[in-house]
């Protein structure tokens, strides 16, 4: 698919507040969102002739079932958490951890034993969708999934 497609007179639906705000600075009309995640978008919007612009890793793997086309515009690189950070988590030097994506939360958790309890560390997530990844640790998240609201939850 050609990466230089014309968005004139096209509706753009966004997932995530950062994406929405960035696009709003370029496109003033026909912008809908932001939705918390792609699954909530699919549940609420009647999708017809949709192009799903995404990274390589996506949470909605069955996008074709909804008649969506897809173009991959980036690939995130997964890295291990540095040992000194893991040690700070384990020894209690870190009181809060902020997480911005479901994938990031999953990657973070993989760096610890499955039964590790994080000894009172507070998890603050950008959205309910991200918080679901960490449910057993009672994460908190803002009503509106924007960074300023999320960061205001740090006590």
User: Which domain-ending residue is among 28, 47, 74?
Assistant: 74
pLDDT value at residue 63: 65
147 plus 87 within the same structural domain: yes
Query: What total number of domains does the chain contain?
Result: 2
Write the pLDDT tens digit of every residue in 8-44.
677 777 777 777 777 777 766 677 778 777 777 777 7
The stretches in the chain having pLDDT less than 70 are 1-8, 27-29, 46-53, 55, 58-63, 65-67
- Please give the model's pTM, rounded to 2 decimal places: 0.61
Q: Is residue 134 within 8 Å of 101, Cβ to Cβ?
A: no
56 plus 92 within the same structural domain: no
User: Positive or negative CA dihedral for 48, 51, 56, 57?
Assistant: negative
Task: Return all residues near 53 (Cβ < 8 A) that are at least 6 apart.
Answer: 70, 71, 73
Range of the domain at 110: 83-151
Residue 69 CA to residue 49 CA, distance in Å, equals 8
55 plus 111 within the same structural domain: no
91 plus 125 within the same structural domain: yes
Do the domain assignments include residue 117? yes
Torsion of CA 68, 74, 79, 82, to 10 degrees: -120
């Amino acid at each position: 698919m050609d990466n230089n497609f014309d968005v004139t007179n096209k509706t753009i639906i966004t997932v995530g507040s950062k994406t929405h705000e960035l696009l709003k600075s370029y496109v003033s009309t026909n912008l809908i969102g932001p939705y918390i995640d792609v699954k909530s978008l699919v549940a609420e919007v009647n999708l017809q002739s949709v192009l799903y612009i995404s990274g390589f890793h996506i949470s909605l793997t069955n996008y074709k079932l909804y008649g969506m086309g897809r173009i991959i515009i980036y690939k995130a690189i997964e890295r291990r958490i540095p040992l000194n950070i893991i040690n700070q988590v384990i020894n209690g030097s870190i009181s809060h951890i902020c997480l911005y994506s479901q994938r990031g939360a999953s990657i973070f958790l993989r760096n610890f034993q499955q039964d590790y309890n994080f000894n009172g560390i507070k998890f603050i997530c950008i959205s309910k969708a991200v918080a679901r990844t960490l449910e057993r640790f009672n994460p908190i998240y803002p009503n509106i999934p924007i960074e300023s609201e999320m960061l205001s939850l740090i006590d």
